[in-house]
Structure 1
Amino acid sequence: MTYPPLGDMLATLRDTTPLVHCITNYVAMNSTANILLATGASPAMLHAPEEVAEFTAMAGALSINIGTISSPWAASMELAARSANDTGTPWVLDPVAVGATAFRQQVCTALLAHQPSVIRANASEVMALAGLASQGRGVDATATTDDATAAIALAQQQRCIVAMTGESDVITDGTHHYRLTGGHPMMPRVTTLGCGLSALVAGFVAANRDEPLAATMAALACFSLAGSRAGQQARGPGSFQVALLDALYTLTPEDLSSLNTLEALHAV
């Protein structure tokens, strides 16, 4: 099996330093910005309805995370998503805990109408969006990524890429499917890493617009490899977060090119 040139994706991101417009939650703003900066992208955190549409049109990509959603922020998110769709700007949806409340489901339904380029979510969130289940407790996954069916179904429904992340990750465009293993068990002990990963996907897609599936895979591979390396030296969640930023910063295209934890899924 020939895999996409993931190392080239990282090199292009660092050469172009794409601007990523992040409408994310209060908890995640700082850590998300640092993850983007450490890897080589440029973050911006804007959420005022008076400027989000205009700024989205100028950005390389948009990342929307509904973690601490409110009605004013929901309005800004929809304005930004509409602008992205109108201007051909790639955008990523992180539907945090979409299965938990009716409000979150309503917000995500409105956002999906603006055709996200990528949905990055855990298994429970993917299942909820795909209509296969409506379970979920907060941001924690109550399902696993062992079964890729929901991710493939959602990708086909929305005609976008779905990155379903967990103990292993499934990346699919509805036709081509991959599983990625790696990371570290300490990653769920550090808040907002998934939020930062969604923004990182947006950065990779911004830098590699012609290959959004491979770009998404490269973003997840960077995170997985950096997480594995951080876990080897961290003593706990606090030092892990610092080590993760350092690992993202020191990753090389050659590291991704030699990755051996990616496999194609031929039948699910």
Structure 2
Amino acid sequence: MTLPPLGHYLGALRESTPLVHCMTNFVAMNSSANLVLAVGASPAMLHAIEEAPAFTELAGALSINIGTISPSWAKAMLACADVARRRSIPWVLDPVAVGATAYRRELCEQLLALEPTVIRANASEVLALAGLESQGRGVDAAPTTHDVEAAAMALAKRQRCVVAMTGERDVVTDGTRHLHIDGGHALMPRVTTLGCGLSAIVAGFVAASPSAALEASTAALAAFAEAGRDAGERARGPGSFQVELIDALYRLTPAALSQAGSTCVTFKGREGDQP
């Protein structure tokens, strides 16, 4: 597999400035909106069942994050995901701490039935969705089991979607093709809601390139990793890192992303290839 220069997908996003409907959690709303704006898309945060499904019809993509769910939000999320499925609007599922409670697992089972375009999750969340045993504590869990990557591929194949699994090394797979992305910075896990914002950014990239969800998701994760690397070189700690990350995403050019992608993204092959 030969990826086009990843800057192509950042350029497509900035040219189209897609509207991203972000159904995210209370903690992440402000930071996610700023990250989406910085990369070049347009965020909107709506949750009310009375208007959110109709708004989804106007959006270029939908991002659903279950971090602070409630019955009313869950009902609206399911309705919006159904609109996205029926209208062929790409949507991203961020199954925050899905393995922590039965309520989260049941909601994610319902959302998975509505065919997300991309699942953006950490390793413990991927394991939970794939039905494997996990000792994950929730948002910060990072299992080191040797079969996490295989679980991501199995989940992608079962759901016929892209799985973008983030961690110390990111993995993007559609169940057949899989890629590794290296980069970022050690301060990234020290700032809350960055993963939530990344899910919304993935939605923006896929909205701009809907026929290339794997490649667009890879570009989104590579852009975030490169911006994180840049921000880490300038930051003095977690507080300044968050501000620097917004600025780094804003400064990132398609040419710089293509150059970074040529070194930080590794194609690991197709199903059946030797790792």
- Asked whether the 8 Å contact 2:21–2:63 carries over to 1, the reply is yes
Equivalent runs, 1:93-104 vs 2, <5 Å: 93-104=93-104
Task: Identify if the C-alpha distance between structure 1 residues 144 and 195 changes in structure 2 by more than 3 Å, giving closer, same or farther.
Answer: farther
> What amino acid is the match of 2:234?
Q
Q: Is the 8 A contact 1:100 1:135 kept in 2?
A: no
Q: Secondary structure at the match of 2:67?
A: coil
Q: Give the TM-score, by structure 1 length.
A: 0.98
Partner of 2:181, secondary structure, is strand
Paired residue type of 2:191: V
The one-letter code of the counterpart of 1:200 is I
How does 1:227-246 map onto structure 2 within 5 Å?
Answer: 227-246=228-247
Map of 1:35 onto structure 2 = 35
Cα root mean square deviation, aligned = 1.1
Q: How many residue pairs end up in the alignment?
A: 268
Question: Which residue number corresponds to residue 49 of structure 1?
Answer: 49
- Structure 2 match to 1:204: 205
What amino acid is the match of 1:157? Answer: R
Matching of residues 97-246 of structure 1 within 5 Å: 97-144=97-144, 147-246=148-247
- Tell me the equivalent position of 1:263: 266
Cα-to-partner distance string for 1:75-116 (whole Å, 9 max, x where unaligned): 010000000001000000000000000000001001011000
User: C-alpha displacement at 1:134, in angstroms?
Assistant: 4.2
- Provide the C-alpha distance between the structure 2 equivalents of 1:148 and 1:134, rounded to a whole number of angstroms: 14
Unaligned 5+ residue runs, structure 1?
A: none
Q: How many Å apart are 1:3 and its aligned residue?
A: 2.1
C-alpha displacement of 1:2:
2.4
**Contact residue 135 and residue 142 of structure 1 kept, 8 A:** no
TM-superposed deviation, 1:210: 1.4
Identity of aligned residues (%): 65
Which residue of 1 is the match for residue 10 of structure 2? 10
Residues in 2 aligned to 1:55 and 1:219: alpha-carbon distance in whole angstroms:
24
Residue deviations 1:193-236 (CA, integer Å, cap 9, x gap): 00000000000000011111110001001100000010001000
Shift of 1:142: 3.3
What secondary structure is seen at the aligned counterpart in 2 of 1:21? strand
Cα distance in 1 between the residues matched to 2:71 and 2:123: 26
Contact 2:169/2:183, CA 8 A, preserved across alignment: yes
3-state DSSP of counterpart to 2:114: coil
1:97/1:217 CA distance change after superposition, 3 Å: same
Distance in 1 between the 2:157 and 2:144 partners?
A: 20
Question: Structure 2 stretches of 5 or more lacking a match?
Answer: none
Give the whole-Å Cα distance in 2 for the aligned partners of 1:149 and 1:194. Answer: 22
For residues 77 and 158 of structure 2, the distance between their equivalents in structure 1, rounded to whole angstroms, comes to: 21
1:128, 1:74 → 2: CA distance? 19
* One-letter amino acid matched to 1:105: R
> Letter of the aligned partner of 2:11 in structure 1?
A
- Corresponding residue for 1:85? 85
Q: Is the 8 A contact 2:134 2:143 kept in 1?
A: no
- The separation in 2 between residues aligned to 1:207 and 1:3, in whole angstroms, is 17
What residue is the counterpart of 1:250 in the other structure?
251
- Aligned residue identity for 1:251: L
Indicate if the aligned counterparts of 2:188 and 2:228 stay in contact, CA closer than 8 A: yes
Which amino acid in the other structure matches residue 209 of structure 1?
P
C-alpha distance in structure 2 between counterparts of 1:218 and 1:101, whole Å: 32
Partner amino acid, structure 2, of 1:39? V
SS in structure 2 at match of 1:221:
helix
The one-letter code sitting in structure 1 at the alignment partner of 2:119 is: I
Does the residue aligned with 1:127 lie in a helix, a strand or coil? Answer: helix
